[in-house]
């Protein structure tokens, strides 16, 4: 099973989540040898394959820099760019990082407007959309926990050229433009990581242009679903036909047909926006493989 298909549930020392997680744990380990090991503190995490969840114990959560769900914290987070900072660099930025929950559909940046905040997604997904007269658009970039929104600041440009809209809601960290610019001047690591990330964004945008021209809609939908799954770190997510049509630049009817074909092949289930990947290997085979190319690029970066 690939890492991208598992979802981290929470720490077992969560607060309001405590009951649910303990219940889940009881189901999984009740009466088994693992129960003793858990009680002795010898286990870091449990993988629940049936629910595709990873249940973390506190030490593992701290090591992975994941804040407990619902917890407002300035502890380091599960965003690749922030995680790449040295401890010292991170500590300088941490007091200015604000934990936010972004709702689906929220617009973070508009083209031509000054950038007030940059965003580091944790488990949300942001679409980058250039706009044309009449409000029509098509996605040219997708930002998840691997990156950030507001990269033009690293090139000395304080104005967004794109609309940044939350595609799938979730957690992110944000920091003001002024603090981010100052952190960038102080941190060689952040400069280096951002240069690599901007290179990846550029390459991804070129690949997307090629994909749109050469590949069939069903292949593109499969690629896009795999890409989304990797960014939200789950095999289940919410995505409407309208939003898929918008980001892929095709008619809604084309998405209905493509999703229907993927369902008939038992690769996914899709009902009222709730999508679940049933057969990841099969979906990869049905895709145009642009997903794999982009994923490899971001791993090299």
Nearer of residues 143 and 288 to Zn ion, judged by Cβ = 288
C-alpha 95/C-alpha 87 separation (Å) is 13
Cβ at position 148, least distance to Zn ion in Å = 25
* Cα gap 283→226, rounded to integer Å: 8
Q: How far apart are CA 114 and CA 10, in angstroms?
A: 36
Task: Please state the closest distance from residue 161 (CB atom) to Zn ion, in A.
Answer: 24
Taking the C-alpha atoms of residue 17 and residue 292, their distance in angstroms, rounded to an integer, is 35
Minimum gap (Å) between residue 226 Cβ and Zn ion: 11
Nearer to Zn ion, 227 or 275 (CB): 227
Strands 141-143 and 125-129: antiparallel
Other Cβ atoms less than 10 A from the Cβ of 6: the count is: 18
Asked if residues 276 and 235 have their Cβ atoms less than 8 Å apart, the reply is yes
Between 206 and 251, name the residue whose CB sits nearer to Zn ion. 206
Comparing C-alpha atoms, which of 75, 79, 78 is closest to residue 93? 75
CB of 228 to Zn ion, least distance (A): 14
Q: For residues 97 and 211, which CB has a smaller minimum distance to Zn ion in the complex?
A: 211
CB nearer Zn ion, residue 56 or residue 294 = 294
Q: DSSP letter at 94? A: G
Query: CB of 29: closest distance to Zn ion in angstroms?
Result: 43
Other beta carbons within 10 Å of 1: 10
- Please, what is the minimum distance in Å from the beta carbon of residue 283 to Zn ion? 14
In the bound complex, what is the minimum distance in angstroms from residue 284's beta carbon to Zn ion? 12
Choice between 9 and 283, CB closer to Zn ion: 283
Q: Which residues contact Zn ion by CB under 5 A?
A: 211, 215, 288, 290
The token pair that represents 159 in the structure block = 């104005």
Q: Which is nearer to Zn ion, 74 or 215 (CB)?
A: 215
E-strand stretches of 44-176: 45-48, 53-56, 98-102, 107-109, 117-121, 125-129, 141-143, 163-168, 170-176
């Amino acid at each position: 099973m690939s890492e991208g298909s598992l979802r981290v549930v929470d720490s077992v020392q969560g607060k309001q989540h405590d009951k649910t997680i303990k219940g889940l744990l009881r189901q999984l380990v009740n009466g088994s040898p693992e129960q003793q090991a858990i009680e002795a503190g010898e286990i870091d995490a449990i993988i629940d394959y049936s629910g595709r969840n990873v249940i973390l114990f506190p030490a593992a959560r701290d090591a992975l820099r994941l804040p407990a769900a619902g917890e407002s914290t300035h502890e380091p987070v599960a965003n690749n760019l922030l995680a790449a900072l040295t401890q010292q660099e991170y500590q300088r930025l941490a007091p200015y990082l604000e934990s936010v929950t972004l709702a689906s559909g929220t617009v973070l940046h508009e083209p031509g407007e000054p950038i007030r905040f940059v965003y580091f997604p944790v488990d949300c997904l942001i679409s980058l959309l250039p706009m044309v007269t009449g409000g029509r658009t098509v996605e040219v970039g997708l930002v998840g926990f691997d990156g950030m929104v507001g990269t033009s600041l690293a090139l000395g440009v304080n104005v967004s050229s794109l609309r940044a809209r939350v595609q799938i809601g979730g957690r992110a960290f944000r920091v003001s433009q002024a603090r981010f610019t100052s952190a960038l001047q102080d941190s060689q690591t952040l400069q280096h990581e951002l240069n690599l990330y901007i290179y990846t964004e550029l390459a991804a945008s070129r690949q997307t242009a090629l994909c749109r021209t050469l590949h069939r809609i069903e292949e593109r939908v499969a690629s896009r679903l795999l890409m989304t799954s990797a960014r939200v770190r789950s095999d289940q997510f919410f995505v409407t036909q309208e939003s898929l049509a918008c980001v892929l630049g095709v008619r809604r009817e084309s998405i209905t047909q493509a999703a229907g074909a993927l369902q008939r092949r038992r690769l996914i289930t899709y009902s009222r926006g709730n999508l679940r990947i049933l057969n990841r290997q099969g979906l990869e085979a049905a895709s145009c493989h642009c997903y794999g190319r982009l994923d490899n690029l971001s791993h090299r970066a």
